[in-house]
Amino acid sequence: MQKSKCKPDKNKGEPVISIQGLYKSFGTLDVLKGIDLTVCEGENVAVLGKSGSGKSVLIKIIVGLLKPDKGTLNVLEKEVEELNGKELDELRLRIGFSFQGSALYDSMSVFENLAFPLTMNVKHLTKKEVESAVEEALEAVGLKDKAERMPAELSGGQRKRIGIARALILKPEIMLYDEPTAGLDPITSAEINELINEVQEKYNTSSIIITHDLTCAKNTCNRVVMLVEGKFLPSGKFEELFGTDNQQVKDFFNYNFI
Q: Which of 15, 54, 68, 172 binds ligand ADP (CB under 6 A)?
A: 54
Residues 221, 45 contacting (CB under 8 angstroms): yes
Size of the site for ligand ADP (CB under 6 A): 11
> Which residues sit opposite 177 in a β-bridge?
98, 209
Q: Greatest CA separation found in the chain? A: 57
Which listed range, 50-58, 150-158, 182-190, 200-208, lies at the site for ligand ADP (CB under 6 A)? 50-58
| Contacted entry of ligand ADP, Mg ion, none for residue 57, CB cut-off 5 to 8 Å set by kind | ligand ADP
Answer for which of 34, 52, 101, 186 binds ligand ADP (CB under 6 A) is 52
Q: Please report, as ranges, the residues that interact with Mg ion according to CB under 5 A.
A: 56
Q: Shortest distance, CB of residue 210 to ligand ADP, whole angstroms?
A: 7
* CA 93 to the chain's CA centroid: 14
Q: Is residue 42 within 8 Å of 203, Cβ to Cβ?
A: no
Name the residue nearer to ligand ADP (CB basis): 42 or 230. Answer: 230
Shortest Cβ 70–Mg ion spacing (Å): 22
- Nearest to residue 237, comparing CAs of 9, 44, 38? 44
List 16, 35, 45, 57, residue binding ligand ADP (CB under 6 A): 57
Nearest to 40 by CA among 223, 227, 199, 225: 223
Whether the Cβ atoms of residue 224 and residue 55 lie closer than 8 Å to each other: no
Find the shortest distance in angstroms from Cβ 29 to ligand ADP.
6
Is residue 105 at the binding interface for ligand ADP, with CB under 6 A as the rule? Answer: no
Distance of CA 186 to the CA centre of its chain: 20
In the complex, the residues that contact ligand ADP under the rule CB under 6 A are 26, 29, 31, 49, 51-57
